[in-house]
Structure 1
């Protein structure tokens, strides 16, 4: 006779299974290594989107794509890279051949891939170099973004959305800085936004997928972060040298803001030291020019819902003393004096000495 009731001590249910990226046999190995060559074509990106300042833009979620059950390749193929509306042109887009010379930061799951490349123009607008030139390519390939959220374990990310967000923000920032004469000093020279195609076999079909990139000047110098982690390199700079360079970083940020761009991620890893011929205060070595990079979360004020900011209308940029008065600047620890750590008064005293007095006349 079968029991009328379940046993009082049933076997425990297995614990819920946490999500992790599933096996993805269609996903090719990351191709961005030395000697990789591809034809690239100039591309007009859509406006920036993906945050409250911009809204969703042209992005539309698909009800038939479920991140928790799809592979990364399936997500990428379901969401082709966005195109800019109303960009019809009577002339063909300029093209060039890109060949990777060496990698700077390339890894599956990294996000944007950074490589040094040669660019051999086939047809290019007059605003860009006509002869072969060397550049850094920042490649926004969603197939090599992290499918798992780096800030929330066991949660998938729509990598196609993330790559498009990064590309549209970076391209918009560089384009605006280029048009307002801000590239070449505090930002790298800009050589435009581009696209190329790669073959892929998906659902037993041989297909092509589009990948976006931007090209910028190859600045042959270290980042402040890398200098801070190299005792021998760091010892070549006096504290006064480091503060002189740091003051230029803050000056560059406010000048970019005045021009209409907020980089939004000031950190030592995002400042490259361009070799310079100007001598430092200690007269021991040329003082490098800091160059701000990494604009994939940047904001171009004119392209946001709020439009231009009031401080853009002034003749001069904001005073760094006012902009950074209550900012810890912790991402520059190791470069700034150690006595600043946890001591806002010392940092504010330096800001006042550096950007107050006669120096204040350079700012609004």
Structure 2
């Protein structure tokens, strides 16, 4: 009996030690902005646990990894910890900004909101500790994002930055740096050549896009009427905007109504381009090309290019229609005076022709197509 009593005492003591050692990462309960402010005051990085309610690995991470004493102690000492549902409140915006595409995603962020590093997927305790140590080692290093945000920004830097951010984080992450440019330099900064090329990324519905629409005459003075009207057309009628509108009942019709109502230059042409897209999307190639033939009577080179680009986008197309679209691109290339648009037109010819003929011999015509 005495031995049993001693054994029970040992078991109870051991159990009490286990429960006493059970820890957890302490998560800040305020907003992301408040977390940034606290991180700045305490000179710490933010550890952001980006999760969703349906993510099973997120739950495993929370229950089995965040609760380990070594992990909890290290993260509580070195970080302002924030756990956020990426589908509620601030979550969707932060998911876009930091390119969160899978869950769980663990982000290490500076007090100025610049990302230091990222860890994606379910991780063991030692991996999480190592990731935290790597982030701490980078804490005082200047990131590429900070170089861009702090400036100065050359044309090459702007191009490289937005190319990289699209590849690593996706289109949604491009909005924050565009808004930063507008805040730091004013909307008129987008008239500069280095920002002109990334202007379409803002989207026509954004404050930047609307400023462009309202002040397009200032852009025309620099780039010419055709170039600006082509850019305006691209921002209204593009794969993303039309794709989103097509999924809504009456979405494409509402876009056409908006173009006419707001008296956007070449509204009728753009409406036909929307119908061209709709016909191609519905597999009605003959009807689509009849529309285009009618719209392109007396058209400008950039307008030929717009139809050719949409035709090139739809790879499943009859030979004769693909050939016609290649001729449109060739007409654009032959008549276009802007070097950038001419280059795009020649690329479009290449794409359309390569889909039909692997190799084509040089000729005095534009890529062998008499225009």
User: Quick check: TM above 0.5?
Assistant: no
Whose strand fraction is larger, Structure 1's or Structure 2's?
1
For CA contacts below 8 A with separation 6 or more, give which structure has more relative contact order: 1
Structure number, greater radius of gyration: 2
Place the TM-score, normalised by the shorter chain, in its bin: under 0.3
Tell me the TM-score normalised to structure 2 length.
Answer: 0.27
More helix by percentage: 2
